Copies of this chain bind each other. A is one copy, B any other.
């Protein structure tokens, strides 16, 4: 077996053992792009070797999506396979099935098709998928997302390389980002999870009122929501089984207070948005609201997204990521949130996560505690080896958390 194939096997095994932490006899429901057939077969083999009872895969196909968006009658786009997603939700809730998502796709898959038709189809799709998504986000079962070097994704990350080379380079970056290149990836993830959980425990114990980011172009105070909770690393299901929902993951994150963000901030890395790169992004906050936002490149697409609703210019997430993490070390922009947001400390315009507040409140109660609501959630990187982060306690005490992008606690 060559080194590449060996790494692929290690990634598949990592997904099953660490990502899912599959239970013996458990059913697995996988989704994947059709291009991933060989990788899916490898995942299934590892799942069966770990005692899976049944591995069912549902393939997505950009060709079919494009055909539909081009040809189907207008009203037909309101259809979505609700029967399928209701069934999946049932399998998660009643059948105890684990959920394995193989991610990686062509960001330009739907290029050139009418945006209204895309929007109409996606809306129906989101509505139909809700029962399955709710089961997943409530952690009724163990789940994970594992990356696959889709040819279209490789083209986006390495536009100037020939396809085969781009794909090989992207796999290498994936192996690096997921710690598959460690001598024992499973052990490396155990150590990594211990490390993240230790940070989460420390931050939850200290009850900081705010974080203070300082660096080139950045002097930002991010107040935290009342009863905020830090999260990160392996997560327990409702039945208490630990799983790693994201491969890779590097962040510990919590909910800012939607009205208590002050100062200026400058992005430390480009942001991939709607298939474009937004570079030199900056913002000035007053009372939690970004009263001024700009960018050297891609400002137009950014401002359009920020006009979605009032919450789009407030923060829904703040996350701390050590600057020496393996994703940052690749030096790449992945055009994929799973990777890009985990490359550096970041904040997100838009929707907050209920899991970042005690009691997982939603709606009115979420807002009362300072949680933000919006239809969008846009992570952008503000951490780097030039950025320091302090925690501010209620009594004004300042506790150094990161120096030059690295943890000091």
Residues of A within 8 A of B (CB): 24-25, 27, 34, 37, 41, 44-45, 48-49, 51-59, 61, 63-64, 67-68, 70-73, 75-84, 86-88, 90-91, 95, 97
Contacts and interface: CB of A to CB of B under 8 A. Distances in A.
A48 B90 CA distance: 30
What number of copies of this chain does the assembly contain? 2
B41 A53 contact: no
A194 to B, nearest CB: 31
**Pairs of residues from A and B, 8 with the lowest C-beta to C-beta distance, nearest first:** A53-B76, A87-B87, A48-B71, A83-B87, A83-B91, A54-B79, A53-B79, A83-B90
Given A44-B64, A54-B68, A84-B56, A25 B73 contact: yes
A67 B54 contact: no
Contacts of A88: 83
Nearest to A64: B44
B61 A80 contact: no
Given A72-B54, A84-B56, A27 B79 contact: yes
A303 B48 CA distance: 36
**Interface of A: prevailing SS:** helix
B58 A58 contact: yes
B76 A25 contact: yes
A134 to B, nearest CB: 16
**Counting chain B CB atoms within 10 Å of each CB, which of A27, A48, A83, A87 scores highest?**
A83
A25 B81 contact: no
B83 A67 contact: no
Nearest to A35: B37
Contacts of A90: 83, 86
B84 A86 contact: no
Contacts of A48: 67-68, 70-72
Nearest to A86: B87
